[in-house]
Structure 1
């Protein structure tokens, strides 16, 4: 009996266990805006081209997968329905060799012409379709250059509070002017919903730190807090201030590794999107193993029998 017990203890000691977790989804990285944002140029008009050719151009790369090279001309990637290019008979896949007799080898040529042309006129496009070269007359008219300037709606925190805010100025009970962040919009899964904070409520403080602007609130949350942490918000509603505890959004967690070597081993990662499972690790091979990478799956038994499915294939047309 003592021998069996000691043998069991020795076998148990040889087992290596491991359990670990990782976020269920990756937390996105947020690029912060400055407090003052210029959405249009100085005269209040958004930048627009003088004319529109009605096509999208790209570098003219060869069609062969075995011999990739850049060829002369601009490859037409897409043609706008009813646009100038479509009216001239140009299709997606055509190659623009020259414009008004000048060689065109880069898409920037089209952008420059669009910006520099301010009146209606005709352009002569030398176009190659397969092995046929023809001349197309592309007539363009000016695009309305002056348009309404973009209007800022709110500053968004799409990660931790999942809401939109605008800067609000108001007066406290002493008549002093204070600023805060008015809740303009709550996105799906916003922690503000569970905390009972509504649209039009004004956030005045974040953990006893005064909020100077909507962007200031977004900056403080992004730079000082992590998903899943709790914060206390000072909220003004109907001129009454109350303090609400809010649990910031958390991506959740999932099992990333569970192993009891040599009995079994399970691993799962988000980047790359991969899952591995093996049963009976005999060092050189496993009794059973399963591996998934994206849509590709592979199953192996004793290292002798193997099956795979959904493997990607590169095919040259």
Structure 2
């Protein structure tokens, strides 16, 4: 009977120690996503594809100009002419030999003492050529510039809205008719990309998404913004969709990068950590602060083994080689 109680007491101690060890192990394990997740910038509902510009220009000189201010920090003043700030490669100004930093004094004998004077010439009927009087350092010379006609570009046409991470698909805003009378906004699935969770939810191209968790969406962008801002990767949400002429509810689990162990630490007995960017691994046994009995590290293709802080072996260094012609 005494032996029985001794064994039982020993069993309790071992169980307690094992439980404490398991608790310590759990508290010293860290996780991180198994792959890097790029950040995306969500578009607004209304998108302008053309930046505000001088749409009334008729001729392009292929350069940007600004006021010709003095270079002195103590005596700032505006000098005659306009300074060329940049020149478009292979543009009219570049072909004429004009360089950034040059000062344009006259165009066709008209003084150009401010950038608006150059723009005013560009809004007039295009001439066959333009005579530029240029100052470069202390030299003034004359060049002939052949302007390029500016033609109105066709208006950009939106193709679709893209969700590259959470659902890995593209969508277009459409109106869907429900019950033969009510029209609501919908996000039509245009294309499904590899590893998209839409297939697992029974959704395919041309199906239309109407609502998320019972809340109707306003557009394709509204749907993309909802799943990326109101949910975490790996969350499960209820999708109301128009599939093959029927309104159905589907369970959609957003794409998840899965998780990996990034650190296990039971110092001073052992320690392990790893990183994805840059790819690296570190491992040590009996780390006694000043040195470790054994440590190993790998950064990209470089491996290093260290024993007692005395012996070190490093391998897989890249080598520089001289190439003979």
Q: Same fold (TM over 0.5)?
A: yes
Following TM superposition, the consecutive aligned residue runs of length 4 or more in structure 1 with deviations greater than 6 angstroms are 11-15, 73-76, 111-117
Question: Which of 183, 186, 194 lines up with 1:180 in the alignment?
Answer: 186
| Alpha-carbon contact 2:84-2:103 (below 8 Å) kept | no
User: Does structure 2 retain, via aligned residues, the 8 Å contact 1:53–1:140?
Assistant: no
Shift of 1:49: 9.4
Contact 1:203-1:233 within 8 A present in 2 as well? yes
Q: The residue matched to 1:149 in structure 2 has which SS?
A: coil
What's the CA shift for 1:41? 5.9
Given the superposition, is the C-alpha separation of residues 208 and 150 from structure 1 closer, same or farther in structure 2, using an over 3 Å criterion? same
Q: Any residues of structure 2 matched to 1:30-45 within 5 Å, and which?
A: 30-40=40-50
Distance 1:140 1:233, change over 3 A: farther
Distance in 1 (CA, whole Å) between partners of 2:236 and 2:203 is 15
Determine the structure 1 residue equivalent to 2:159. Answer: 153
Q: Distance in 1 between matches of 2:252 and 2:120?
A: 53
1:230 aligns with 2:236: yes
- Once residues 86 and 237 of structure 1 are traced to their aligned partners in structure 2, the CA distance between those partners, rounded to angstroms, is 57
Aligned partners of 1:289, 1:112: CA distance in 2, in Å? 68
Equivalent residue, structure 2, for 1:19: 29
TM-score of the aligned structures, taking structure 2 as reference length: 0.65
User: Cα 1:169–1:14, aligned 2, differ >3 Å: closer, same or farther?
Assistant: closer
- SS of the equivalent of 1:100 reads strand
User: What does residue range 1-317 of structure 1 map to in structure 2 within 5 Å?
Assistant: 17=25, 18-40=28-50, 50-52=60-62, 80=89, 84=92, 87=95, 96-100=100-104, 118=122, 121=130, 124=134, 126=136, 139=145, 141-142=147-148, 144-270=150-276, 273-293=279-299, 298-307=304-313, 310=317
Count of residue correspondences: 269
Return closer, same or farther for 1:184/1:115 CA change in 2, 3 Å cut-off.
farther
Alignment gaps of 5+ in structure 2: 1-5, 65-82, 107-114, 321-325
3-state SS of 2:229 partner: helix
TM-score relative to the length of structure 1: 0.66
Other structure's SS at 2:157 match? coil
**Separation in 1, partners of 2:135, 2:177:** 64
Per-residue CA deviations over 1:36-83 (Å, capped at 9, x if unaligned) read: 22323689x7x99934359xxxxxxxxxxxxxxxxxx9999x985x55
Task: Name the larger-Rg structure.
Answer: 2
Q: Structure 2 CA distance, aligned partners of 1:285 and 1:312?
A: 30
Is the CA contact (8 Å cut-off) linking 1:97 and 1:125 kept in structure 2? no
Cα distance, 1:167–1:288 mapped onto 2, change above 3 Å: same
Superposed CA deviations along residues 146-178 of structure 1, whole A, max 9, x for unmatched, are 101111111221120111111111221151122
Report the RMSD for the aligned CA atoms in angstroms.
4.6
Query: 1:187-235 CA distances to partner (integer Å, 9 max, x unpaired)?
Result: 2322113333111111012121112211111121112110011122122
Unmatched 5+ stretches in structure 1: 55-72, 103-110, 128-132
User: What SS is found at the alignment partner of 2:223?
Assistant: helix
